[in-house]
Amino acid sequence: MTASDHAPFARDRAPYHAHAPFAGVPAARIDVLRPGMVAILGAPFDWGTTHRPGARFGPKAIREGDYLEMDGARPHLTAGVDPLHALPVVDIGDAQLAPGYIELSLDRIEQLVRGVAEAGAIPVVLGGDHTVTYPSAKAVADVIGAGEIALIHFDAHADTGESHYGQLYGHGTPMRRLIESGAVPGRRFVQIGLRGYWPPPDTVEWMRAQGMRSYFMADITRRGLSAVVDEAVQAALGHGARGVYVSVDIDVVDPGMAPGTGTPEPGGLSARELLDTVQRLGRELDVVGADLVEVAPHYDQPADITARLANRVVLELLTGMALRRADSG
């Protein structure tokens, strides 16, 4: 399969693949993408999980986590812009993966995201577990320039493990793989929301040696989220970065507001804090790619709380990007 062969929402996909585009935006083949467009795509992959599986159902749930009409219009009540029209946004469907085959599936995600980036469009990847950030961000970096993009990472967990059960690829290792590959150097990594009891001290020391900036929930509690994000923005703009990739693990939010995830960790951000922050990043930074991962809807019943929040995280990021484009136009 090549990127140009990809057909969105084909009928021969697995049952967990999405059957309709995000918010009713146009479904499009990758060969119609043009510079400045945003392409939403799904990566229904969860064979990198080490605790609760189910994130393969995430892309479908995120697309459907909305009570409004699927009409391709979402005018933002306070921002005064419809990001789906202003950018504009299309949905190219889900990557065609091979369940259980980690490296083959990651190769297919990377190939699809690279096709989007080569067209000059901005990929927004709906996961899937956090393993998918490795091929997605790497593909964007390969097109823009290896080592030339920054990455802002929202998560309860650092995802910098050396390996998982002897395997290089899993949802606890993607950030380490990105640094080791040269796609995103450690000095251009910013992490927000870390907490809990993992990773171990030797991994934390490795992170510091790479120059990664890691903001723990304790830092946010002590200093305030706004001050932390101020530093994150400055760090992302520093070192001559040619764009920023934003990766949001929904477990950065407290599980009381986002229970539908594979590795819940108490004591996280509120839903409101995350929504406001991603809109701010979209407006203040040149976002060249993004992903939203670890939505596992089977743990989200009966109210679809997490999927609905994830849907709005995507919309708030796109709203910020649309405002940035309007400001610069």
Quick check: 261 and 296 in contact, CB under 8 A?
yes
Mean pLDDT, rounded, for 225-236: 94
**So what's the pLDDT on residue 301?**
81
Helix (H) or strand (E) holding 213: strand 213-216
**So what's the pLDDT on residue 2?**
52
Mean pLDDT, rounded, for 264-281: 98
Decide if pLDDT at 77 tops 50: yes
Q: What is the pLDDT of residues 178-228, one digit of tens each?
A: 999 999 999 999 999 999 999 999 999 999 999 999 999 999 999 999 999
CA separation for the pair 133, 247 (Å, rounded) = 7
3-state secondary structure of 265: coil
> What is the side-by-side order of every strand in the sheet holding 189-194?
89-94, 38-43, 122-127, 287-293, 244-249, 150-154, 189-194, 213-216
Decide if pLDDT at 265 tops 50: yes
Q: How confident is the model at residue 13 (pLDDT cuts 50, 70, 90)?
A: confident
**So what's the pLDDT on residue 314?**
98
Q: How far is CA 101 from CA 132, 242, 294, 318, in A?
A: 13, 33, 19, 32
Mean pLDDT, rounded, for 42-65: 96
Mean pLDDT, rounded, for 1-12: 66
Q: How far is CA 287 from CA 18, 174, 242, 260, 280, in A?
A: 25, 19, 10, 27, 11
Structural domains of the chain ordered from first start: 3-328 (3.40.800.10)
**So what's the pLDDT on residue 12?**
67
Quick check: 291 and 249 in contact, CB under 8 A?
no
Task: Tell me what the pLDDT averaged over the chain comes to.
Answer: 95
Decide if pLDDT at 16 tops 50: yes
Q: What is the pLDDT of residues 122-139, one digit of tens each?
A: 999 999 999 999 999 999
Q: How confident is the model at residue 5 (pLDDT cuts 50, 70, 90)?
A: low
Nearest to 48 by CA among 150, 144, 175, 148: 175
DSSP track, 26-93: PB--GGG--TT-EEEEEE---TT-SS---GGGHHHHHHH--SS-SSS----TTT---HHHHTTEEEEE
Decide if pLDDT at 1 tops 50: no
